[in-house]
Chains A and B, each alone.
Chain A
């Protein structure tokens, strides 16, 4: 009787492990462009590699998704009336099982192309996926980027065709690096977290006056701004390394000498703890 009980307990303990097989499948999904109305786009992916690019051609979107269907469900929905596009995986499935499965051998991947002629409000929830985003040339009205365990790169190789109202980045354990952020045409940037650091490289040009609100801990924040742009830094740091080159202190802020003369301004309001804050005001 006792032996039976032990076997039963072992079976119960091991059953989930046995049931944890993977079943990979690939889905391609796309939709023809019907109009260029502003569209809300929600992209969710648990683990593996995620890529986003502007599309060439008359498609609203194109998605390539390779995923473990034992741990997650694929989503590819478009609500034409609400102009709402939802792609990737259901949020309910983005749990430890999906993360574990999709990150194994780097097998999970999701590649999305979006039409650059459609103004879009983008929301990305990337769990533990490593992200590579090219948003240059698109029409991004707002960008909400939630990154969990992994980090990623975000590029604006060419200018954003419309003014972006808000860029919000929430980073967990990973880090994120923005390239040519000056092309984002954004007026407000909000940054939270980033254990592995957040790097904002504005490139050669800044298309719009920008205010950056950052709350960073442990990782740090590194900002590279072109020399022609005036920069103002208001920082509150706790045990954080503070590096500002070529700035002068005025009241409660640090200003670059060209603050009053320059046509474009970047204002950085940062609250940093246990990390570092570095603002380079020079040619990249």
Chain B
């Protein structure tokens, strides 16, 4: 009973042929044998039947229900469950059969409509095929060969122009045609239809893959050992796709990111020059005066950021008011950290820029500072741009990336440290280390060192003794 119902359902699905399915029965070809095991790959662009067709969904649910009840019946019979239960199940099965009959009627209607549309589509396909000149066909072959989703084709002169059928009992090697390909015999290898369908009829066998470009692959009772694949069209890799595969697009992506950061930092630099000029100066002065201390403070800030964040959250959540403040404080910590890092990086850029540029006599102090900062930013981001451009070079690319990363990280760390030391430039800059005063240096020296304590206190000279 169960098998019979299953077969009935499969037949019902098989009747709902996709558009263009009627071409299989064209004159001059072997007849299309009726079969209860017709499975199809729908035409591209159509959704898979059970996806958006309520009818197919109903049929699927029905199948599941029938299978479930049939399973229960088998199990009930084996376990010797009272006949009352079996009778109930049989009743439900009968009801489902009735519903199945109704759905089959609807399927029949759809089949009629499908046939009409199919004839129209076949007509269109034939016209399309006739329009392809030998040159166009050659282009199509090239595209299919180059297409990553394509397949290896036989030589162009071995590709059948137009529709082709592998007759029953025939055994051939791989085959390709520019129209519909009907397989009743055996194909040892791939079978390809360009601009048509591949239909594998009962008894037909393809040992490789079946590909249809612009059509469908359909099983009409036959066997395909490999993949059934259909694509809407053959696409030779375009320049962009080729670029993508060669890594060119990734270079462009990297360049875009680096340029984006550069533009953002330049804008932030202008903003800092306008709104926080003094703070920027103080941080820059701190970097110059206390480079080592800034680096240490920066490292400490980076290492302690997460613990401080966690500690802040813990301290906040133990009090009611802290919980209320939590949504403000946690983002606030991130914002303050980011601002300090940006301020510090801009200051480092200015200091680095000063070393790279000469101040023109006509440029004001402020203009010189701006120029220095821009030069510094171009230097740091220039490293990333160069690394991006040369990223395709096997060893040099990664090395340049590493260099750019280390230099940028060091700059950010030093800048952050200086910003932290000066509390964001709010503290006055440390006074530069005083140059040794010649008079005081001489003051403690004994004028005429001869021997004894005074001689021992005399500063040692670097001049080697004779």
Please, which residue of chain A has its CB at the minimum distance from the CB of B317? Answer: A239
Q: Which size class do B's interface residues fall under?
A: 35 or more
Q: Which of B10, B230, B263 contacts A57 (CB 8 A)?
A: B10
Which chain A residues in 192-227 approach chain B with CB under 8 Å?
none
Say yes or no: B219 contacts A32, CB within 8 Å: yes
Q: Find chain B residues with CB under 8 A from A31 CB.
A: 224, 226-228
Say whether A19 contacts B223, CB under 8 Å: no
Residues on the B chain within 8 Å of A57, using CB: 10, 13, 39
* Dominant secondary structure of chain A at its interface with chain B: mixed
Question: Which chain A residues (119-163) contact chain B, with CB distance < 8 Å?
Answer: 136-137, 157-158
B48 touches A13 (CB 8 A): no
Contact of A19 with B219 at beta-carbon distance under 8 Å, contacts A31-B227, A74-B149, A111-B48 already known = no
B431 adjacent to chain A (CB < 8 Å):
no
Q: How far is the CA of A149 from the CA of B249 in the complex (A)?
A: 25
- Inter-subunit contact A158/B68 (CB<8 Å): yes
Partner of B42, one of A17, A28, A69, A136: A28
Interface of chain B residues 45 through 84 with chain A (CB within 8 A)? 45, 47-48, 50-51, 59-60, 63-64, 67-68
In the complex, A113→B232 CA distance in Å?
20
A13 touches B227 (CB 8 A): no
Chain A contributes a number of interface residues (CB within 8 A of B) equal to 42
A-chain residues with CB within 8 Å of residue B256 when the two chains form the complex:
13, 15-17
**Given A19-B240, A23-B238, A59-B39 in contact, is the A28-B227 Cβ separation under 8 Å?**
no
Known contacts A13-B259, A28-B42, A28-B44, A21 near B229 by CB under 8 Å = no
Q: Is the CB of B39 within 8 A of A25?
A: no
A158 B64 Cβ-Cβ under 8 A: yes
Question: Is residue A70 within 8 Å, beta carbon to beta carbon, of the partner chain?
Answer: yes
Q: Out of B10, B50, B60, B149, which one reaches A27, CB within 8 Å? A: B149
Q: Is residue B406 within 8 Å, beta carbon to beta carbon, of the partner chain?
A: no
Shortest CB-to-CB span from B149 to chain A, Å, is 6
**Which A residues are CB-close (under 8 A) to B217?**
28, 30
Q: Which residue of B lies closest to A10 (CB)?
A: B259
Nearest CB of chain B from residue A18's CB, rounded to whole Å: 9
The residue that A97 contacts in the complex, of B243, B253, B317, with Cβ under 8 A, is: B253
CB-based nearest B residue for A74: B149
List the B side residues contacting A15 at CB < 8 Å.
Answer: 252, 255-256
Most buried by B among A30, A71, A74, A76: A30
B235 within 8 A of A: yes
**A164 → chain B closest CB, angstroms:** 18
Interface residues of B in 192-244 (CB under 8 A from A): 216-217, 219, 223-233, 235, 238, 240-241, 243-244
Q: A34-B225, A58-B39 are in contact. List 19 more A-B contacts (CB 8 A).
A: A12-B259, A13-B255, A13-B256, A16-B252, A19-B243, A21-B240, A23-B235, A31-B226, A31-B227, A31-B228, A54-B60, A56-B9, A56-B59, A70-B238, A71-B244, A78-B227, A111-B48, A137-B67, A157-B64
27 A-B residue contacts at CB 8 Å? A9-B259, A12-B259, A15-B252, A16-B249, A19-B252, A21-B240, A23-B238, A25-B232, A26-B232, A27-B44, A28-B41, A28-B217, A29-B229, A30-B229, A31-B227, A32-B228, A53-B50, A56-B59, A56-B63, A59-B39, A70-B238, A70-B241, A71-B244, A76-B229, A113-B48, A113-B50, A137-B67
Q: B residues engaging A (CB < 8 A)?
A: 9-10, 13, 37, 39, 41-42, 44-45, 47-48, 50-51, 59-60, 63-64, 67-68, 148-149, 216-217, 219, 223-233, 235, 238, 240-241, 243-244, 249, 252-253, 255-256, 259-260, 263, 317, 323
